[in-house]
Amino acid sequence: MKQNLLLLALLITGLMSGQNEFSDLEVKYIYFTSKDTTNLEDKMSEVMVLDFNSKTSLYYSEAFLQRRKAIETQLTIAKSSGQIADIDVRKMPKPKIDYSVYRNNEGIFVTSRIGNDYYTFQGNTPEWKTNYVDEKIIIGYKCKKATAIFNKRQYTAWYTKEIPFSEGPYRFKGLPGLILEIEDINEFDKFIAVSIEKKKIEISPLQNGIVVNRSEYLKKREEFKSNPYPGRAMDLNKRNQLESINRKFNNTLER
């Protein structure tokens, strides 16, 4: 309970100090991930966006934000016309990634959906090893190599000091430059930067999740996998099918 109260206080402080913050740069990544670690051919991809300045950042799915804006537009139109909103979500962008990461100074907050609810927990950056001489060019920027163990997996990152922000996708931050590419040793997850632009985008959390610590979040996620939608009347075959699908989605960045 004390940990949750502390996390809540840190999150509120971060939200308040992050008001009216705007990005200096926007990076778009293609995120490739294996849904099932026993089948590396079964991969999906998503365009992810990182908006940031020296103090704060927001990492999210481009399709998630497009979908939300489309719904908000329809609701605004319906309200102004006095009509009931007729929203056809089938015609809207369909995100595959439903989490976002908000950083405010040193505080990093992950908000992720489990079932119908969003949960927010605080996370740390990896501890990096940077004593490598390896270099390569990524979208025109000279990058250096770094490695880290993150949630029991080894990752190799390529970062550029030409953009001296300690930023990167998800919780992969803390290097002396922007991460443009990162992949785990098993090739389950890979992030590749495809564009960098100067953009003034307001930075604020996309969702207000139920505040938990990371252990509680992992416990909630496992409970949902073994018993999706508890208390809801559901055909046994359908419940078994949902549980089977959830078990196959066994690759996550948080383990």
**pLDDT, tens digit, for every residue of 201-233?**
999 999 889 999 999 999 999 888 877 767 666
Place of tokens 């009216």: 20
> What Cα–Cα distance (Å) separates residue 206 from each residue in 121, 162, 185?
14, 29, 31
DSSP code of residue 129: B
DSSP code of residue 235: -
Phi, psi of 210 (to 5 degrees): -65, 125
**pLDDT, tens digit, for every residue of 120-152?**
999 999 999 999 999 999 999 999 999 999 999
Give the residue from 171, 43, 168 showing the smallest Cα distance to 99.
171
- Stated pTM of the model: 0.86
Give CA–CA dist 184/174, Å, rounded. 17
**pLDDT, tens digit, for every residue of 73-98?**
777 766 677 776 666 666 777 899 99
